[in-house]
Chain A
């Protein structure tokens, strides 16, 4: 399974990828913002998107909306990992059709739990 990890913070990308490695995943693609992520999505097959919300150029919410409105990408599971934890934010994310949502800082266990939850929903 190939993950696309989108975050403007290299530290956060590394943290997420390290956690994914401990879960047994080994295929990762990185992007620093939404626009770069779209470029990666167009260039290679991706199975799962983990994205931050606050990013320069194109934020995670716009990235989600773009993915959902692109026919060959709309099915992609998207997990939002962000510092934004207001009710309004969650509702906005749900409207953009993210599959799940994690508030930073998170533990690797929470990340695994959410990835598994998203994958089980998508498979079923």
Chain B
């Protein structure tokens, strides 16, 4: 019995020690519970953020790849043109030498002929003797050298024209710089967005008193992607215009042409001949008789109204209101597929080719 009581007391002591331990552990467990409940949404947010940013990364990579591709393409185009330019300048130089040779030869032959004539005249010789020589020189100049001269000049002119075309092509290729800078600005913006999100997460960590896990100061000093050498407003799809350069302007022209056509339709005089006739037809013949409507007066009235409208239109032009309103006409356009790329032809269609 005594032994059993001792065992019971020992157990009670163990239990007491356990309760004391429990009392000490509970606040700690509570702290862990609070920490986990705080960190759980944060971890979830990090997961979402990582997933979102991972989705964006391929698009950034793709954009950078397109920039490289576009730059390579433009550089290759410019280098090809420069190679051709070297060849063309060689041809021009050769042609100039040829022209100089023709000129020198003509001067030499003409001088020799004039000298012979001069001597002949001085010696009172019969000039008819020199006629075969004169006609020989004339034929040489007219038929041979003049033809060669014209041919060389015409060839040089076409080379110069093609050099003009080359400079246009170079100018077009150089525009890639603007397009790719927009593309790079778009990637930069994406990196800034990721940076902002990461900073927000870091701020949340600060609030949960576990800032020691992340050295914020180091991140601040090492990441500096927000500024380019100048502010660049960008179109993330800018590089598409290089890929679709042949068709884009034509689609745009087409759209503008359509718009102009609509405007022209609106600009037709209100009083067309048919309308005048309809106006007369709508009047009852007896009414015309009763009211003694004079056709000449009616015609004059219509003309006066037309003149008034023309004057109003002219006034608008004088006042600088000649930019035609477009809002109403735009309603007539197909407003579906607004994300479709447009070519210059489409634009021309809307604005009118000429």
Contacts and interface: CB of A to CB of B under 8 A. Distances in A.
A42 interface: no
Contact of B174 (A15, A88, A110, A122): A15
B342 A15 contact: no
A74 B321 contact: yes
A30 B240 CA distance: 27
A7 B181 CA distance: 13
Contact of B233 (A55, A75, A120): A55
Chain B contact patch, size range: 35 or more
B338 interface: yes
For chain A, the bracket of interface size reads 35 or more
B322 A87 contact: no
A7 to B, nearest CB: 8
B129 interface: no
A27 B248 CA distance: 30
Contacts of B325: 97
Contacts of A55: 233
B337 A87 contact: yes
A114 to B, nearest CB: 8
A34 to B, nearest CB: 10
B181 A100 contact: no
Interface centre among A18, A87, A109, A110 (most CB of B within 10 A): A87
Contact of B352 (A9, A103, A121): A121
B131 to A, nearest CB: 51
A104 interface: yes
Given A90-B346, A102-B347, A103-B343, A68 B323 contact: yes
Given A15-B174, A107-B172, A90 B320 contact: no
Nearest to A117: B354
B252 interface: yes
Contacts of A95: 326-327, 330
B347 A106 contact: no
A103 B322 contact: no
Nearest to B259: A94
B256 interface: yes
Contact of A100 (B240, B337, B339, B347): B347
A9 B235 contact: no
Nearest to A32: B230
A26 B243 CA distance: 33
B232 interface: yes
Contact of A101 (B234, B340, B341, B351): B351
Contacts of B321: 74-75
B256 A85 contact: no
Interface in B310-354: 319-327, 330, 333, 335, 337-344, 346-347, 350-354
A105 interface: yes
Contacts of B60: none
Contacts of B242: 105
Nearest to B238: A83
B172 A117 contact: no
Given A12-B175, A83-B241, A99 B351 contact: yes
9 contacts: A8-B231, A56-B233, A71-B320, A86-B338, A87-B340, A87-B342, A94-B259, A94-B350, A116-B354
Interface of A: 7-9, 11-12, 15, 18-19, 53-57, 59, 68, 71-72, 74-76, 82-91, 94-95, 97, 99-110, 113, 116-117, 120-122
Interface of B: 168-169, 171-179, 181-182, 230-235, 237-238, 240-242, 244-245, 248-249, 251-252, 255-256, 259, 319-327, 330, 333, 335, 337-344, 346-347, 350-354
